[in-house]
Structure 1
Amino acid sequence: MQIQYRNENLETVITYGEILSTSVQREWLKGKHIVILTNQRYYDRFFEKMEQLFLNHPVDWYIFRNQLYVNTLEEWSSLLAYLDTFSTEADYLFVAFGSTGVIELTGFLQKVSVLKGEYWSIPISFQSYAQSLVAECTISRKNTLPILQQANLPQRIFLDQTMVAPQREGRLVDLQVFIRTAFLCDYPMLLQLFKQYPNPKQLRTTKFTAMIDELTTHYQASGLEIESYGRAFEQAFYQTENGHLLSENMKRFLGFILQLFWDKTVNRWPFQMKNFMIWLSHLGFPIDFPKQISMAEYLENVLQRIGEKAELVTLKQAGVLGESKKVEERQLIEAFETYQQICRNIRSNEK
């Protein structure tokens, strides 16, 4: 199946519902020098499959660390040094095959490089699929401060669900993408998630295929808002002492949850947050704020990340985007107290 997708006046063609080998037409590869950008884990796991896909074509691999955000200035400099000896006369195909950082960095590369060619994305998760739908490609200083940016979309996106990470943590990460999208744009979709994934067994066995069209449609309309929701709260963990105790995906998950609590505190929209958090905990999400991290220091870093403008996107209600509103310290504290009280109640009822 194919979807014609447009974002920020850029277009791409999305192919899904097929395995990769039948999706890629041989004539698209004619005369191409393939450069695959990926993380170490996906190189180890899919090297043979990808080499077979591009059989009889020159293929080079650039391997990043196993991190969510590899789109850093350091990695960008290393990649440029690696590509420095490549001929400027060749016709290249840059293939992003990894984490969200790999997607962003590849899109940035194809836009500014003197090496001319196309840019494809082969997502290995719905998280990297969602990133492929966002035209904003950034290079950051470390994990938190964007310093370079280009607008770009892949010419083609191939979503082969046989290659999407099947492990338990990977399923939770992918579910986050659908939850965030539903919470911001589509309340009926959120209810559908509750019904389809009531327990860990259903999460392991029920695919996300049925919601690909909905996810894609919402990203076409509101991709930047969806991706940015919770980002300031996520980035604050990188600046807070002992923030390293949380994985990158956990920082992203808690960032989203904590902005939700702040949003509900500010706008008072009706929603049973306790039931929502019970569901998340039951599925296996670690919902608690780590005891080793200072809440006061973290809140200070949240305000610092938001900056002088001090505004964040909010919801009119669950499933409906609203306007940006100013962030006040008093409301942040109230939101975090509510969040912690709900977590304590959930844990006490589990005993």
Structure 2
Amino acid sequence: MEFVYEKKDHQSSVIYGETVASLLKNEPLEERHILLVTNQRYYDLFSDKLIQLFNERQNLDWYICKNDTHCNNFSELEALLTFVAAFPAKEDYLLIGLGNEGVMYLSAFINQTAVLTTELWLLPLSLQALSESLTGNGLIELNHKNALSVPSLATRIVYDQTMIKKDGDRQLIDFLVFIQCGLVCSHEFLRDLYKNFTDRSRLNQQSFNGLMEPMLGYYQKDEAAIHKFGQLFETAFYTVDGGHLLSVYMKSLLGSLLQLVWSQQKNGFSFHIKNFLVWLIRLGYPIEFPEQIFVSDYVQELLTCSEEFGEASCLLDIGVLGDKEFFEAEELIQAVEEYKNLIEKIKRGQ
């Protein structure tokens, strides 16, 4: 399947439901020099396979990043710049980013800023990485905050599901992409997720294929809003004492859930948040607010984030974004306490 993804004045061919092997089989690479940026984990898994796919006929060089989701940092950027500086500028290069979210952003940044003549392909190895490849930006972070950004959309984005390792909580983590789309873009889409993925067993068994096209459509229309929803609440978890107890993805999920509760308190729209949270628990998400984090400390970090980054979008309804709003301390305390009370009621079976 191919989806022509348009971002501002640029477009990318998003290919899914097809393997990298079948794509490369008939691809005229024109003897271009290939620079492949990937994580150590994926180099170990796929380097032999990819060398075979290129039939050993291409000049192929690898840059290996750390496995950290936030490997798009200054340290990795400096090392990658040193790596590309060794290649002659007169050649044409195919730059391929293969791996996690950090590799998507790092590859996109290098594509736009290096002196080499490059065409960018991105091969995300999770739905989370796919979602980041659709931003059309190359990003470099400093302390988990965006420090440098350039517009950069890959010519091709290839999502090969045969290369995705669905071990551990991978399905849960990837499913967050669809939940975020439902919250921000479509109540009907969220309702369909609720009906079709009723518990952890169904989540692990059901294919995501039917969700890909609507997800890409939502990202094409509202990518920035999808990514920013919950972002301030998420960022505060990186700086508050005890925030390290949450994984990267749980920070993201809790950020979205807290912004949802805050939005409903402000605008009073009809939505059964308790039922929604029960569903998330059935799917297997650990959605409790950590007891080790004091609400007052967290709210103070939220206010600090708001001073630095500005307002947060407030939902008028599920799938309907309203105006951006400034935070007020008392409202934030009420929202976090309400969220904690909802979780307690669910635990008590009320």
Q: CA deviation at 1:179?
A: 0.3
By how many angstroms is 1:98 displaced? 1.4
In structure 2, what is the equivalent of residue 289 of structure 1? 289
Q: Which amino acid aligns with 1:100?
A: E
Instruction: Tell me, in whole angstroms, the C-alpha distance in 2 between the residues paired with 1:257 and 1:98.
Output: 27
Aligned AA (1:222): D
Deviates more, 1:160-169 or 1:266-275: 160-169
CA distance in 2, matches of 1:317, 1:221: 18
Are 1:127 and 2:108 matched, yes or no? Answer: no
Does the 8 A contact of 1:15 with 1:23 survive in 2? no
Aligned partner of 2:84 in structure 1 is 83
Q: Which secondary structure state, in structure 2, belongs to the residue aligned with residue 138 of structure 1?
A: strand
Partner of 2:142: 141
How far apart are 1:158 and its partner, in Å? 0.9
CA–CA distance in 2 between the matches of 1:161 and 1:153? 21
Give the length in aligned residue pairs.
349
Which residue number in structure 1 is paired with residue 222 of structure 2? 222
Cα deviation for residue 308 of structure 1 reads: 5.8
| 1:270-307 superposed Cα distances (whole Å, 9 cap, x missing partner) | 10111111111111101001122232222111111122
Shift of 1:309: 6.7
After alignment, is 319-328 or 175-184 more displaced? 319-328
Task: Provide the residue aligned with 2:176 in structure 1.
Answer: 176
CA drift at 1:147: 1.9
Structure 2 counterpart of 1:228, one-letter code: K
Q: How far is 1:26 from its partner?
A: 4.4
Matches within 5 A, 1:220-259: 220-259=220-259
Alignment of 1:90-169 (within 5 A): 90-144=91-145, 146-169=146-169
Q: Give the alignment of 1:267-278 within 5 angstroms.
A: 267-278=267-278
Note the alpha carbon deviations across 1:247-283, whole angstroms, 9 max, x for none: 1112112111111111111111110111111111111
Distance in 1 between the 2:85 and 2:111 partners?
A: 14
Moved more, 92-101 or 208-217: 92-101
Aligned twin of 1:15:
15
- In structure 2, distance between residues paired with 1:185 and 1:176: 14
Matched residue, 1:64? 65
- Inter-partner Cα distance in structure 2 for 1:105 and 1:36: 12
Kept in 2, the 8 Å contact 1:68–1:99? The answer is yes
- For residue 205 of structure 2, what is the aligned residue in structure 1? 205
Give the stretch that moved more between structures: 105-114 or 73-82. 73-82
Distance 2:4 2:211 in 1: 16
TM-score, normalized by length of structure 2? 0.95
Distance in structure 2 (CA, Å) of the matches to 1:308 and 1:70 = 23
Q: 2:175, 2:31 → 1: CA distance?
A: 39
Instruction: Calculate the aligned-residue CA RMSD, in Å.
Output: 1.6
Helix, strand or coil at the partner of 2:87? coil
User: Is the Cα–Cα contact under 8 Å of residues 263 and 316 in structure 2 kept in the other structure?
Assistant: no
Deviations 1:86-136 (A, max 9, x none): 221221111111111211111111001001110001111111111111113
Contact 2:110-2:138 within 8 A present in 1 as well = no
Q: Is the 8 A contact 2:98 2:122 kept in 1?
A: yes
Cα distance in 1 for partners of 2:61, 2:322 equals 45
Bigger shift: 216-225 or 259-268? 259-268
Supply the AA of the counterpart residue of 2:108.
G
Which 5+ residue runs of structure 2 have no aligned equivalent? none
Q: Give the stretch that moved more between structures: 45-54 or 168-177.
A: 45-54
In the alignment, what sits opposite 1:53?
53
In structure 2, what is the Cα distance between the partners aligned to 1:305 and 1:216? 30
1:46-68 deviation per Cα after TM superposition (whole angstroms, max 9, x unaligned): 22222222222122222222222
2:237 and 2:298 in contact (8 A); partners too: yes
Q: Deviation per CA, 1:198-239: give whole Å up to 9, x if none.
A: 011111111111011100011011001101111111111111
Q: Aligned AA for 1:4?
A: V
For residues 66 and 111 of structure 2, the distance between their equivalents in structure 1, rounded to whole angstroms, comes to 20
